[in-house]
Amino acid sequence: MIKKIFICAVVLLYSSVCSLRAQEYKVISDTVECETCTSFSQPQPTDDRYRVVTNRFWSNWFVLGNVGMHAFYGDYSSVGKFEETISPDFNIGVGKWFTPGIGAKLQFSMGDSKSFSKEQTHYTYGDLLYSDNGTPYWKAKIKWWDLNINAMFNLSRLFCGYEGKISDELMNQFILSLGIGGVHHYDIKAQRNEWSGHAELQYSRFFDKEKKFSLDLKAKALLYQTNFDNIVLKDGDKNTNWWDTNVGFSVGFTYYIKKRHWDRCLPGRAPVYNINQTIIMPDNKCPEYGTMEFYVFFPNNYSGRDDAPTVPGATVNAIDYLASGLYTQTKFENEGEVEKQMEANKSFAKLRTKDIPTTDANLALGCGYEMSDASISLSMNADSMAAFKEKNGYYYAPIYSGNNVWHYRVDRATVNQRLIKEENFMEKKSFSLNGHKGLEIVKSNMKPSSDAEVVSFADVYGAIEGNEGNVALASDEATVKKISDIIENGNIIYVVAEGYATSQDNFIGENAENVGLERNKTLAFNRAFTVINWLMGNKNLKNVPSNAFSVNALVNPIKLVEDEMVHGLTPKLSRSVKVRIHYSINK
């Protein structure tokens, strides 16, 4: 009965620790999966859980110790009672992991093995006894010590990959050890030595993320040649065993000595970017290098070049206008005059207007240009204006210039330009190009770089200005967090912007083709300049050297557009700034 209980205990111990591991450990993919998230397309060293850099010889060592109990199975062990074959043992050792999954250890084990013999040997003692069926036998005790070397296989890491330097993954690990040793018998008249084989399944429970110390439970078997108990069986003996064996379990600990972990990549020299003859070298010990790319889309004839922060003291911030700007960001100065004109159903063209200061987009009332499905332009009918006045406290105004009435903001340098069709002065349709929702349209039409992660203008604005209010509605929270992590914990190496404009122009005077080309080239450059100014002036990027920011003045930034309408998808995609941010970050 006791023998059955012992065997059941070993089986239950193994199955319970397997269950514990299955419950507590969960493989977490490096890739965040969701409908709106973007992911890195550039392979990184840390993307591969099975890739590490091996350490020097004196790294990844450990010491161990454990005590346990074992039962001896020899040629005549079944003659007596099972409980009389159980005895204690102890074990100490030192080892080294060469990789997270493969190692070796040297152990010294010591104990004694209790058994029975039908004949007197070096190990028998006491009086002659008789079993229940009348078989005569003597009790035996075999005192020994064993020096063994074992190959170790961390099954958890071999199957699941290395979890990293400081991680709460794989707090429960299984290790298989197989080895050979030399056993020495002592406390007998004749000295005796022989070979031994070792097999061990170890369950280790760690208690901190650095995995410095583990509590170990081990199921083990030590195999010896069949005359371990000094019994040489005669031909025809039905009790012949192939091996004499100690089978048992033990409890102990392992302490891992520094250096305990592995790096994903070798510390080395980072890529060098030569920026205005200044060389910037990130000081990360083992960084990943990546490129983040985003696009900023502008209304027709607008670059923000005349708005703050480019012009000191200006009341409109161009980037805030794109993110949250309402209508033209202007209002009528005299509300009484507006109401008189409303009652008389007359034009507002002669009334004075002034700028409305922009605020951070996360605090503003507007939805911004291409930040959502809503268009930025508003109707000028009396009911709409009155409703807006009741909610926001002022009457909004368009931008008047002669016969032109602009229903969105334009540069002072382009305000006098005449568009081909009257409806072009009104912004009636939005594709969410500046919002995260429009990323698929952007990626399928703009052909971004294959080595870059593409994010939206709303995502970048949310990361460095604050992701609240209408900005939060237009951005993706997971992407904003990813960008924030790069800005806070990484190194921004180089930021370059290049602007684009459409070929659309309606100038019909002398040298019209060149005049139109130059006007659009100026818009393209100014758009890039506005975005770079915004990034340079942001407090979250204050540690990035000013010469790490650059405007790439393209030879031909003009994209051919044959459409007479300026608010279709193709023209809107062409009025943009492409920004590439090169960075490094530790993982």
For 17, the token pair is 């620790």
State the first-to-last Cα distance of the chain, in angstroms, to the nearest integer.
55
Burial 109-137 (b: 16+ CB within 10 A, else e): bbbbbbbbbbeebebbeeeeeeeeeeeeb
Taking only Cα atoms into account, the Rg of the chain, rounded to an integer number of angstroms, comes to 39
CATH topology of domain 2-256: Porin (2.40.160)
For 146, the token pair is 């064993």
**Tokens 């005359």 belong to residue:** 227
Please name which of 480, 451, 441 lies closest in space to residue 464, comparing C-alpha atoms. 480
Q: How far apart are CA 177 and CA 174, in angstroms?
A: 10
Predicted TM-score (pTM) above 0.75: no
> What pLDDT digit, counting tens, does each position of 126-155 carry?
888 888 788 888 888 989 999 999 999 999
Half-sphere exposure of 319 (CA within 13 A, CB side): 26
**β-bridge partners, 94:** 63, 106
Exposed/middle/buried for 193, CB within 10 Å: 0-12, 13-18, 19+? exposed
User: Is residue 195 a contact partner of residue 180, using CB atoms and an 8 Å limit?
Assistant: yes
Q: How far apart are CA 445 and CA 456, in angstroms?
A: 14
> What pLDDT digit, counting tens, does each position of 477-514 carry?
999 999 999 999 888 999 999 999 998 887 666 776 78
| pLDDT tens for the 587 residues of the chain, in order | 545 544 554 444 444 333 333 333 222 222 223 333 333 344 555 567 778 888 999 999 999 999 999 999 888 888 888 888 999 999 999 999 999 999 999 999 999 999 888 888 888 888 888 887 888 888 889 899 999 999 999 999 999 999 988 889 999 999 999 999 999 998 887 778 889 999 999 999 999 999 999 999 999 999 987 778 777 665 555 556 678 899 999 999 999 998 999 987 765 444 444 444 344 445 556 678 889 999 999 999 999 988 877 777 777 889 999 998 888 889 999 999 999 999 888 889 889 998 888 876 665 566 789 999 888 898 888 899 998 888 888 999 999 988 889 999 999 888 888 888 889 999 889 999 999 999 999 999 998 888 899 999 999 999 999 898 888 999 999 999 999 999 998 889 999 999 999 988 876 667 767 878 888 999 999 999 999 999 998 999 988 998 899 998 888 898 888 888 899 999 999 999 999 999 988 76
Q: So what's the pLDDT on residue 166?
A: 86
**β-bridge partners, 138:** 117
Please name which of 94, 92, 97 lies closest in space to residue 57, comparing C-alpha atoms. 97
Burial 267-278 (b: 16+ CB within 10 A, else e): eeebeebebeee
Angle at 538 between CA 536 and CA 542, to 5 degrees: 70
**Tokens 């406390």 belong to residue:** 187
For 220, the token pair is 């083990």
Q: How far apart are CA 459 and CA 8, in angstroms?
A: 58
Report the interhelical angle of 457-465 vs 477-489 (nearest 10°).
Answer: 50
H or E element, residue 181? strand 172-185
Burial 519-558 (b: 16+ CB within 10 A, else e): bbbbbbbbbbbbbbbbbbebeebeebeeebbbbeeeeebb
Q: How far apart are CA 396 and CA 389, in angstroms?
A: 8
Residue 151 makes CB contacts below 8 A (sequence gap 6+) with 102, 103, 104, 177, 178, 179
Cα dihedral sign, 173-178-181-184: positive
For 185, the token pair is 């018998």
Q: So what's the pLDDT on residue 231?
A: 73
Q: How far apart are CA 52 and CA 154, in angstroms?
A: 15
User: Is residue 495 a contact partner of residue 391, using CB atoms and an 8 Å limit?
Assistant: no
For 147, the token pair is 């020096």
User: Is residue 374 a contact partner of residue 392, using CB atoms and an 8 Å limit?
Assistant: no
Q: How far apart are CA 67 and CA 483, in angstroms?
A: 51
Q: How far apart are CA 333 and CA 354, in angstroms?
A: 7
Strand 501-502 with 558-559, pairing: parallel
Per DSSP, the residues of 319-380 read: HHHHHH--TTSEEES-HHHHHHHHHHT---TTS-EEEPPP--GGG-SS--TTSSSS-S----
For 358, the token pair is 């922009």
H or E element, residue 39? none
For 123, the token pair is 């190990």
Domain positions in the chain are: 2-256, 292-586
Angle at 285 between CA 281 and CA 289, to 5 degrees: 60
